[in-house]
Structure 1
């Protein structure tokens, strides 16, 4: 039984290290802010989560149930996507230019999109758009 749990701990630590490494590579090698945002918000969060779950299993074997690592993992999984979303909204608000190779340029999509479609066109004297 101990060997199985040690294998699970080792797997979680190795997976956490691999995810964190891939996220760090994405942060350093991608071209613009919008692309770089995916490295820390996705893969590094998984890396930290795997490492904390491995720590949770290890310290639960020695001292009984440990809640601190579980709370840290939940907090990291909640706050990292929210902070990445707020950074992306701030970059869009400040009209940060993306790399020309980025597909789906948000400023171009907003500019080229019609204000209303036929189905959404306002009817009569309605103050709603």
Structure 2
């Protein structure tokens, strides 16, 4: 076996894996009930599926002697932006109260909430007035 045949098998395997993950992500997007669970399908599974398809394109481009810079840039952009967009969509759902809220903190009332203690409010107000004088 030479490297071209091995690369062809690797491309075929990546295409099958990418297509399967993309299909599973699409089915999950349609089947899940609420928006927070529906968010997991395209961001987690879909990213792996598209990544496998881009990896197949990179292997194929490398075997025919062309550069793989475009595919690598697309993959980097996808892997950076997908978690950020998922985080923003989850925050919107939480702030709109479209989903079940997490349980309240047990011992600390200001951890992971928007409550600020009075002492910190006073401190920020005095710091804000001193900055305005400068």
Q: Which residue of 1 aligns with 2:131?
A: none
Q: Which residue of 2 aligns with 1:39?
A: 41
Segment drifting more, 62-71 vs 80-89: 62-71
1:84 aligns with 2:89: no
Q: Which residue of 1 aligns with 2:20?
A: 18
Runs of 4+ in 1 over 2 A off after TM superposition: 112-117
- TM, length-normalised to structure 1: 0.78
Counterpart CA distance in 2 for 1:115 and 1:8 is: 52
- TM, length-normalised to structure 2: 0.76
- Larger Rg over CA atoms: 2
Matches within 5 A, 1:1-129: 1-98=3-100, 105-106=101-102, 109-110=103-104, 113-116=106-109, 127-128=119-120
Structure 1 unpaired stretches of 5+: 99-104, 118-125
Number of aligned residue pairs:
112
Counterpart CA distance in 2 for 1:97 and 1:5 is: 46
Cα contact 2:39–2:86 (8 A) shared by 1: yes
CA deviation after TM superposition for structure 1 residue 114, in Å = 4.7
Structure 2 unpaired stretches of 5+: 111-117, 122-134
CA deviation after TM superposition for structure 1 residue 31, in Å = 1.2
Counterpart CA distance in 2 for 1:25 and 1:35 is: 13
More helix by share: 2
